[in-house]
């Protein structure tokens, strides 16, 4: 059972455009939703994260939108740049209640930004 | 400071052999995680350490997989009698105390089982 579903698998965007990646989760106990960015040959690195008490979080060109009732969250990359070309993973975990915080990942979206 | 390091970066082995993968977490981080990244499967959680204890081993795919952590620092993931389906990138991450603390990932060990 896949607890975090991510789409699309791949995405091609022109430089300056908006990249949008969507994720849906099933477990309502999840209370921490990070996005990770991974470049080839490297480990994933935290990009931005949100908790369900807010509906949106923005850091520079990156924005997470969160819809608790729909159990969905998305990453928006504004003014996409060729340097943003990477694989993006959404994830979810349980922060409280003694949980250790192991991350449940989506299957990833390979983003290519064309110059 | 130094990030999470893993060794070896690449490992090619023959089916049936045992392999050991090493992770050096960020100094002072008490939480350590192992994940496996297979083509098309994303990242799967394997095991979590808090200090030297492993309160959650639920992601280990079979009893051929085991891990230990010593001195609250270095961790070793051991795969016995490797199978071709074990081929993947094995990633280690550490965080300061666990929970929702940021997890810092190492570069991974690419394991190929022939």
Residue A20 has pLDDT above 80, yes or no: yes
Contact A95 B99 (CB under 8 A): yes
B81-86 long-range contacts, CB within 8 A, separation 24+: B81/B16, B81/B17, B81/B18, B82/B13, B82/B14, B82/B15, B82/B16, B82/B17, B82/B18, B82/B19, B82/B111, B82/B113, B83/B15, B83/B113, B84/B15, B84/B113, B84/B114, B85/B113, B86/B111, B86/B113
Give the residue with greater pLDDT, B40 vs A40. A40
The pLDDT value recorded for residue A47 is 96
A41 contact B CB<8A = yes
A47-105 pLDDT per residue, tens: 999 998 999 999 999 999 999 999 999 999 999 999 999 999 999 998 765 557 788 99
Please provide residue A112's backbone torsions phi and psi, each rounded to the nearest 5 degrees: -120, 125
Contact B103 A99 (CB under 8 A): no
Give the distance from residue A82's alpha carbon to the nearest chain B alpha carbon, in angstroms. 22
The pLDDT value recorded for residue A69 is 94
**Which residue, among B6, B89, B97, B99, would best test binding to A if mutated, counting the most A CBs under 10 Å from its CB?**
B99
Give the distance from residue A102's alpha carbon to the nearest chain B alpha carbon, in angstroms. 7
B21-74 pLDDT per residue, tens: 999 999 999 999 999 999 867 899 999 999 999 888 889 999 999 999 999 899
Contact list, B95 vs chain A (CB under 8 Å):
101
Give the percent of chain B with pLDDT over 70: 98
Q: Can you tell me the mean pLDDT for B67-86?
A: 96
Nearest to B42 among A46, A102, A105 (CB): A105
Q: Can you tell me the mean pLDDT for B83-94?
A: 96
Residue A107 has pLDDT above 80, yes or no: yes
């Amino acid at each position: 059972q896949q607890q975090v579903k991510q789409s699309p698998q791949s995405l091609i965007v022109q430089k300056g455009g908006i990249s949008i990646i969507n994720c849906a989760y099933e477990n309502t106990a999840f209370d921490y939703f990070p996005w990770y960015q991974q470049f080839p040959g490297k480990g994933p690195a935290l990009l931005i994260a949100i908790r369900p008490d807010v509906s949106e979080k923005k850091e520079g060109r990156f924005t997470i939108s969160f819809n608790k009732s729909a159990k969905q969250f998305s990453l928006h990359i504004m003014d996409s740049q060729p340097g943003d070309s990477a694989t993006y993973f959404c994830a979810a975990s349980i922060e409280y209640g003694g949980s250790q915080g192991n991350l449940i990942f989506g299957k990833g979206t390979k983003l290519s930004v064309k110059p | 400071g130094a990030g999470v390091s893993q060794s070896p970066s690449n490992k090619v082995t023959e089916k049936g052999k045992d392999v050991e993968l090493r992770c050096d977490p960020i100094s002072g981080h008490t939480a350590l995680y192992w994940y496996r990244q297979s083509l098309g499967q994303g990242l799967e959680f394997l095991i979590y350490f808090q200090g030297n204890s492993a309160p959650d081993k639920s992601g280990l795919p079979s009893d051929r997989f085991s891990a230990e952590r010593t001195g609250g620092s270095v961790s070793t993931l051991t795969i016995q009698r490797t199978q071709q389906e074990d081929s993947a990138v094995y990633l280690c991450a550490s965080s300061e105390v666990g929970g929702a603390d940021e997890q810092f990932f190492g570069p991974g060990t690419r394991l190929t089982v022939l």
